[in-house]
Amino acid sequence: MKKVLIALSALLIILTGVSYFVGDYFVKFALKAPPPATANIADPNLKAPPAPNFPAESWTITSADGFKLNATYYKPARESHEWAILIHGYGRDQTFANDYAEEYLKRGWNVVTPDLRGCGKSEGVYLTMGALESQDIVLWAEKIVETDPQAKIILHGVSMGAATAIMAAALNPPHLAAVVEDCGYTSAYEMFTAQLDKIFGLPEYPVMPIVDVVSKIETGVAISDAAPIKVVDKISVPILFIHGDADKLVPYEMMIKLFDKATAKKEKFTVAGAGHADAKRTNPAAYFDKVFVFLSSEELGVKS
């Protein structure tokens, strides 16, 4: 009996070790900054647009867990109390929000483009798919209000940035007026489960539960904590949901689920034929017309 217990204990130790090795591999593949998975998920040929031709200054804050975070503040030609925090996607940095920033600035908005933790010039070891990034966005909103006590702030995010925007809005940042959510996922766990099959041909079980546990150990939050679907109904400000109906990374159905779960004033805008994070590029005129008509509604109290 003693030998059997020893053998079972040894087997358990081996299985635990193997499980942690597997989980550690996938956490580093998907979340260690800069994540190697970017080559499989994001378009490697996409180049960042040029910086907006408006006055700019560098801003910094410190995250709750001690990372120095960087952003650029762009000032419009006329004085304004309208502010947009533009949130980039997975494996990118703030420069990929430059063309969005240009449109807001031309319409007289102040713009802040953060580098999310572990991206661009911001410190950080791991991405957390919006779980901790959302808390950082609240800090950026607080900095804006310190700069302009009359600020009316909107969050506009794309892909992981959209998920971050939803989760940040649910934390009730100061002076928040609206959210523009472009092709965000219902949950990072669900999205990565699909990618696990596409990239590695592996099933959800037992890999994803193991990765979820290891991500909690290594990053401080589980992948399953990055779940906008769990908090979208806590948002009280208006939300515009944008999605391409040809999105193969974050399925269009995820937007429908988020839209249906939201309880605030909401609108959805479907861009026919647009792939992931491609709604703006597919039809930029229609995209920005929709965004700024939405933001100019009386309920928001802002104008474009």
CA distances (Å), origin 8, targets 3, 17, 18, 170:
9, 14, 15, 46
* Domain positions in the chain: 32-187+226-295
Q: What is the mean pLDDT of residues 131-138?
A: 98
CA 119 to chain centre: 12
Transcribe the chain into DSSP letters.
-HHHHHHHHHHHHHHHHHHHHHHHHHHHHHHBSSPTTHHHHS-TTPPPPPPPSS-EEEEEEE-TTS-EEEEEEE--SS--SEEEEEE--TT--GGGGHHHHHHHHHTT-EEEEEPPTTSTT---SB--TTTTHHHHHHHHHHHHHHH-TT-EEEEEEETHHHHHHHHHHTT--TTEEEEEEES--S-HHHHHHHHIIIII---STTHHHHHHHHHHHHHSS-GGG--GGGTGGG--S-EEEEEETT-SSS-HHHHHHHHHH--SSEEEEEETT--TT-HHHH-HHHHHHHHHHHHTSTTTT---
Distance CA 149, CA 22 (A): 49
Q: Does the structure show a pLDDT above 90 at 251?
A: yes
Distance CA 236, CA 39 (A): 36
Q: Does the structure show a pLDDT above 90 at 281?
A: yes
Q: What is the mean pLDDT of residues 212-240?
A: 97
pLDDT digits (tens, 9 = 90+) for 73-120: 999 999 999 999 999 999 999 999 999 999 999 999 999 999 999 999
Q: What is the mean pLDDT of residues 260-285?
A: 96
Distance CA 256, CA 94 (A): 27
pTM, 2 dp: 0.94
pLDDT digits (tens, 9 = 90+) for 10-61: 444 554 445 777 889 999 999 999 999 998 887 777 899 999 999 999 999 9
Q: For domain 32-187+226-295, give the CATH number.
A: 3.40.50.1820
Q: Does the structure show a pLDDT above 80 at 126?
A: yes
Q: Does the structure show a pLDDT above 50 at 8?
A: no
- Closest by CA position to 151, among listed 161, 141, 159: 141
Q: Does the structure show a pLDDT above 90 at 301?
A: no
pLDDT at residue 13, as a whole number? 53
CA dihedral 26, 32, 36, 38 (to 10 degrees): 100
Distance CA 184, CA 169 (A): 14
